[in-house]
């Protein structure tokens, strides 16, 4: 361990999104917090909303400050805050983080990290998740230009996310990935089933493609079940529209442990997103659980699954139905599922955090050089 790494004792993980709302960034922040805590770091998570009691019970401090508002973003809705109190609270935590590094996710999303970036009192690592620019980057260009100078190390979770932030700023990130909590997946006991089962996990909004899956189910005249995990703005309308299909099991929002158990118990994980996904974390989690994966053929999923999942054109219920039928009628042999699991294992959160620990040391070095000349 280098001297720079040895001096790092504390890490603040900042999420602009409320942890109580399911999302890829939130999942990563929780997994990173657990991995760092397990390595002996003193970890504090900063986010709007309410405290994640499960994280706190595991020894991770959680500063949850600021009322949450739902803001349209990239085909979804982002649970952010505009609270000045949150900005002040998180800035204060960062300023007093002795021997520490601040790791900010989506740093330009309003407004959790703005005070931290303006002050730049501690080394800062930034991770960008978003794939696809849109008007936010054009409108926010002056803010981005001002805040980006405070970033000591810049990372993107995929090539698409890197291209997005490069197009919207002068930043050139290192490309890493989102990590899977393999130990948690392995610890989950497979959820019992009574029939061949298809699983959907995600927010019930147009971008996630649940409506496409339900149309595909209507075309599948097979004695199967479909577990639908999550909720969202389309839940009620979709339940009403497909109320006659008794094979649908509307599970609602559930905890990480139950979700992983259902992944291990299902025969097929279906990820029918229409677009806007910079990385394929959910497909990788299914592969880690040794579950067959049928997903949309979009950049983020293609990059992550690398030939270990069945990919179909997005927004095509007929193609999706055919792929699901094939996956159920001709289950993948163990060697195929094992190969998919081995691929997913290379994307573990522990492997990811090995690299981030090195980047924390690099950020500390660069921050020290800035201070020396500043």
Instruction: Give how far the C-alpha of residue 24 lies from the chain's centroid of Cα atoms, to the nearest Å.
Output: 2
CB burial of 160-180 (b: ≥16 within 10 Å; e: otherwise) equals: bbbbbbeebbeeebeebbbbb
> Residue 7 burial (CB < 10 Å; 0-12/13-18/19+)?
middle
Q: Supply the pLDDT for residue 314.
A: 97
Complete domains list, the chain, with CATH:
3-179+348-368 (3.40.50.2000), 182-345 (3.40.50.2000)
Give me the pLDDT at residue 104, please.
Answer: 98
So what's the pLDDT on residue 1? Answer: 40
Looking at residue 135, its pLDDT comes to 67
Q: Which two tokens stand for residue 198?
A: 């298809």
Per-residue pLDDT, 293: 98
Please state the three-class secondary structure of the chain as a single string.
Answer: CCHHHHCCCEEEEECCCCCCCCCHHHHHHHHHHHHHHHCCCEEEEEECCCCCHHHHHCCCEEEECCCCEEEEECCEEEEECCCHHHHHHHHHHHHCCCCEEEEEECCCCCCCCHHHHHHCCCCEEEEECCCCCCHHHHHCHHHHHHHHCCCCEEEECCHHHHHHHHHHCCCCCEECCCCECHHHHHHCCCCCCCCCEEEEECCCCHHHCHHHHHHHHHHCCCCCEEEEECCCCCHHHHHHHCCCCCCEEEEECCCHHHHHHHHHHCCEEEECCCCCCCCCHHHHHHHHCCCEEEEECCHHHHHHHCCCCEEECCCCHHHHHHHHHHHHHCCCCHHHHHHHHHHHHCCEHHHHHHHHHHHHHHHHHHHHHHHHHC
Mean pLDDT, each 10-residue run in order, the chain (374 residues) = 64 97 91 96 98 95 97 83 98 96 96 97 96 71 88 94 90 95 94 98 94 98 97 96 98 92 98 90 96 96 94 98 98 97 94 97 95 78
Residue where the block lists tokens 């959160």? 349
Instruction: Name which of 211, 254, 214, 212 is nearest 231 in CA terms.
Output: 254
Task: Output the six-digit token pair for 324.
Answer: 């699901």
Radius of gyration of the chain (CA): 21
pLDDT at position 255 is 84
CB 4 within 8 A of CB 95: no
Single pTM value for the model: 0.85
């Amino acid at each position: 361990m280098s001297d720079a790494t040895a001096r790092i004792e504390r890490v603040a993980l900042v999420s602009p999104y409320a942890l109580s709302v399911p999302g890829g960034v939130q999942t990563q922040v929780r997994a990173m917090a657990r991995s760092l805590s397990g390595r002996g770091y003193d970890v504090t998570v900063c986010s709007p909303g309410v405290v994640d009691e499960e994280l706190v019970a595991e020894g991770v401090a959680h500063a949850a400050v600021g009322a949450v508002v739902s803001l349209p973003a990239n085909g979804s809705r982002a649970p952010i805050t505009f609270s000045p109190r949150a900005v002040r609270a998180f800035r204060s935590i960062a300023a007093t983080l002795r021997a520490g590094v601040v790791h900010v996710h989506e740093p330009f999303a309003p407004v959790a990290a703005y005070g931290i970036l303006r002050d730049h009192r501690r080394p800062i690592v930034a991770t960008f998740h978003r794939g696809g620019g849109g008007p936010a980057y054009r409108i926010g260009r002056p803010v981005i230009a001002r805040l980006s100078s405070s970033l000591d190390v810049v990372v993107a979770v995929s090539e698409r996310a890197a291209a997005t932030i490069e197009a919207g700023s002068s930043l050139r990130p290192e490309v890493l990935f989102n990590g899977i909590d393999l130990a948690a997946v392995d610890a989950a006991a497979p959820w019992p089933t009574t029939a061949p089962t298809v699983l959907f996990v995600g927010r019930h909004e147009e971008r996630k493609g649940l409506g496409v899956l339900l149309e595909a189910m209507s075309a599948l005249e097979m004695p199967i079940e479909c577990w639908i995990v999550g909720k969202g703005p389309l839940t009620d309308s979709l339940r009403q529209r497909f109320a006659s299909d008794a094979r649908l099991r509307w599970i609602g929002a559930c905890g990480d442990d139950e979700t992983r158990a259902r992944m291990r118990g299902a025969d097929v994980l279906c990820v029918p997103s229409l677009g806007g996904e910079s990385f394929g974390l959910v497909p990788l989690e299914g592969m880690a659980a040794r579950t067959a994966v049928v997903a949309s053929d979009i950049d983020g999923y293609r990059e992550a699954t690398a030939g270990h999942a069945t990919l179909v054109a997005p927004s095509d219920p007929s193609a999706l139905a055919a792929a699901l039928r094939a996956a159920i009628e001709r289950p993948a042999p163990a060697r195929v599922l094992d190969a998919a699991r081995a691929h997913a294992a290379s994307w573990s959160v522990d492997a990811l955090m090995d690299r981030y620990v090195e980047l924390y040391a690099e950020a500390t070095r660069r921050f020290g050089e800035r201070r020396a000349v500043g």
